Amino acid sequence: MEVTMRRTVDEINKSHIENALNVPYMFITQEGRVENPDFIAQVSSICKKDHRFIVGCNSGGRSSCACDDVSNAGFKHVTNMEGGYPSWVDNILTIENQQKNALASSGLKAFLFLHLILYGLMKSITRQTDP
């Protein structure tokens, strides 16, 4: 099972679920939040339509919309993380935060580096578990 986050880069930099992949559903711009036009393509590039994965955001709202979008795009086993990221933390599940993450001095660099590592790990795990 993969965990796919739909949080913003700022939210991810503060803390995030360990081993999660991040594909932003929305971007924060000067005009407000704007939907990621490449969202489905980005999800499709890292997940197969028959993979099982959990979608989460900061509260559960964006991830619910993201679940609808990926389900409508043909993904079969998509689950919304009810209550979002705080629910994950409240249940004492594993997280990474800036204090724990010493991969780089910049939060953004750490996020990008971690994202690339996790992308490789998840691809490796996916290849090992696919029939």
Cite the active site residues: 57
- Kind plus residue range of the DSSP H or E element containing 97: strand 95-97
Maximum Cα–Cα distance across the chain: 46
Q: Which residues of 19-57 are buried (b: 16+ CB within 10 A; e: fewer)?
A: ebbbbbbbeeeeeeeeebeebbebbbebbeeebebbbbb
Rg (CA), the chain: 14
Q: Are 58 and 11 in contact (CB under 8 A)?
A: yes
Q: Are 101 and 3 in contact (CB under 8 A)?
A: no
